Amino acid sequence: MNQRRAGIALALSLLLLLALAGAIAIRLSESPVPAAAPPESRWYALYLTRPGERHHPDHQTIDEGVVARIDAATATIDAAIYEMDLAAVARSLVAAARRGVQVRVVTDGDTIEARDRDPATDEAFAILERAGVPIRADTRSAIMHHKFAVFDRAIVWTGSWNWTEGDSRRLDNNAVSFTSPDVAADYAAEFERLFAGRFGSAKDAGARRDAVAVGPARVRVFFAPEDRIAPAIETAIRQATSEVQFLAFAFTHDGIGRALIDLGPRAVRVRGVFDRTMAGGSVSEFARLLRAGFEVYQDGNPGFMHHKVVVIDRKVTIVGSLNFSAAGIESNDENVLMIEDVDLASDFVAETDRVVAVARRRG
């Protein structure tokens, strides 16, 4: 009898363990899946926003990523940021300054003017001002559209992401960060031009012309308007042999549009997503590319699809602050990276897949 009771107890225990395991598995399957983080061995960190998706507690958001970079700085932080309304980021910059880091900020005059009507922007900049962080603003009609920072003259942070709540939560955005004293030197030189009050056409030639090795990648840097960005982008597109994919908030540049259209007779696949609010404009390249038979979509995000990315042959990625427009290329202060690296290209192809899927669901 005792043996029988022991057997029953053992069986019940096993059933209980199986039930618990099943419950745990179900619970895990219902948990939000974090965006893929790059392995430690990769030369870059890529941050992508996920509008409308639940935040996974183990996934570092884009604003948390820049705060982590700020908190790790030991000597200098130079930030050229078109917009900022994140008080947490401002407080992190102030904390860096208080521990002896040299912190400097360049922004656009429109952002400073927005303080009168935007309490969040006013608070963020007031935090910096009260701590004595030096701020320079562009007052031209063209805009200082950069979204980059240089940490310790060695680490670069750039992309489409403005340092705002909206860009962090509601817009599709990206930021890429990596360590390269050579590339950082180019960005630091651009920052010095801006901090000295030389904006737009007042700047001299920007970045070096040759590519820089960053781990396995080859990186070229361009600044607008001083560097000839449009011909470089058009040439890279025309060299495509299999496909070009892009994500574009504003795409009105005829030369870049023509470079894509010229790929048609060569049977190079072209796939891209335009921001819906911008695609219907009379100067948008959307209708032109659609008539050419390319796979182009209007995005499905209720907020803006704010990326500015081109991926060529799943190998070369063009990324930065630059909208593909005449104003962006000829008047604004902008930056672009042209990066030859299959891993980064693969990450942006995956992001294009996601944005295309959202666009298709909306129709």
Is the model's pLDDT at 175 over the cut of 90?
A: yes
Considering the domain architecture, whether residues 191 and 81 belong to the same structural domain is answered as yes
Which of 146, 169, 201 finishes a domain? 201
What is the pTM for the complete model shown?
Answer: 0.88
> What does the block give as tokens for 89?
């980021």
pLDDT at 40: 54
Per-residue pLDDT band for 21 (boundaries 50, 70, 90) equals very low
The pLDDT tens digits for 67-112 are 999 999 999 999 999 999 999 999 999 999 999 999 999 999 999 9
pLDDT at 24: 35
Considering the domain architecture, whether residues 112 and 238 belong to the same structural domain is answered as no
Considering the domain architecture, whether residues 188 and 58 belong to the same structural domain is answered as yes
Rounded distance between C-alpha atoms, residue 354 and residue 305, angstroms: 12
Asked if residues 94 and 73 have their Cβ atoms less than 8 Å apart, the reply is no
pLDDT at 14: 40
pLDDT at 205: 72
Its domain, for residue 121, covers 44-201
Asked if residues 76 and 153 have their Cβ atoms less than 8 Å apart, the reply is yes
Considering the domain architecture, whether residues 223 and 193 belong to the same structural domain is answered as no
In a domain, 303, yes or no: yes
Asked if residues 246 and 213 have their Cβ atoms less than 8 Å apart, the reply is no
Considering the domain architecture, whether residues 134 and 189 belong to the same structural domain is answered as yes
Any idea what the Cα angle at residue 278 is, between residues 339 and 333, rounded to 5°? 50
Q: Which of 32-46, 94-108, 147-161, 326-340 has the lowest mean pLDDT?
A: 32-46
CATH value at residue 64: 3.30.870.10
In a domain, 108, yes or no: yes
Percent of the chain with pLDDT over 90: 82
In a domain, 50, yes or no: yes
Per-residue pLDDT band for 228 (boundaries 50, 70, 90) equals confident
Query: Cα torsion for 256, 260, 262, 268, to the nearest 10°?
Result: 160
Is the model's pLDDT at 37 over the cut of 60?
A: no
Contacts of 212 (CB under 8 A, 6+ apart): 180, 182, 183, 218, 219, 220, 221
Which of 156, 174, 201 finishes a domain? 201
Asked if residues 314 and 349 have their Cβ atoms less than 8 Å apart, the reply is yes
In a domain, 16, yes or no: no
In a domain, 119, yes or no: yes
Rounded distance between C-alpha atoms, residue 181 and residue 86, angstroms: 28
Select which of 146, 147, 253, 306 is catalytic: 306
Asked if residues 77 and 96 have their Cβ atoms less than 8 Å apart, the reply is yes
The burial of 19, by beta-carbon neighbours within 10 Å (0-12 exposed, 13-18 middle, 19 or more buried), is given as exposed
With tokens 């991926």, the residue in question is 311
Per-residue pLDDT band for 206 (boundaries 50, 70, 90) equals low
Is the model's pLDDT at 20 over the cut of 50?
A: no
308 an active-site residue? Answer: yes
At 254, which helix (H) or strand (E)?
helix 254-261
Considering the domain architecture, whether residues 154 and 231 belong to the same structural domain is answered as no
Considering the domain architecture, whether residues 182 and 255 belong to the same structural domain is answered as no
Select which of 308, 333, 341, 347 is catalytic: 308
Is the model's pLDDT at 35 over the cut of 50?
A: no
**How would you classify the pairing of strands 174-179 and 155-159?**
antiparallel
315 an active-site residue? Answer: no
Is the model's pLDDT at 331 over the cut of 90?
A: yes
Which of 183, 201, 219 finishes a domain? 201
Select which of 118, 122, 313, 343 is catalytic: 313
Considering the domain architecture, whether residues 188 and 217 belong to the same structural domain is answered as no
Rounded distance between C-alpha atoms, residue 167 and residue 161, angstroms: 6
In a domain, 311, yes or no: yes
Considering the domain architecture, whether residues 148 and 90 belong to the same structural domain is answered as yes
Considering the domain architecture, whether residues 255 and 320 belong to the same structural domain is answered as yes
Is the model's pLDDT at 38 over the cut of 60?
A: no
Considering the domain architecture, whether residues 317 and 216 belong to the same structural domain is answered as yes
Is the model's pLDDT at 176 over the cut of 90?
A: yes
Asked if residues 206 and 189 have their Cβ atoms less than 8 Å apart, the reply is yes
In a domain, 314, yes or no: yes
Considering the domain architecture, whether residues 235 and 345 belong to the same structural domain is answered as yes
Q: How many domains does the chain have?
A: 2
Residue closest to 347 by CA, chosen among 16, 45, 23, 18: 45
**How would you classify the pairing of strands 76-81 and 44-48?**
unpaired
H-type alpha helices, the chain: 2-30, 62-72, 87-98, 109-114, 119-130, 165-169, 181-195, 229-238, 254-261, 276-279, 286-291, 326-330, 342-362
The pLDDT tens digits for 141-150 are 999 999 999 9
254 an active-site residue? Answer: no
In a domain, 206, yes or no: no
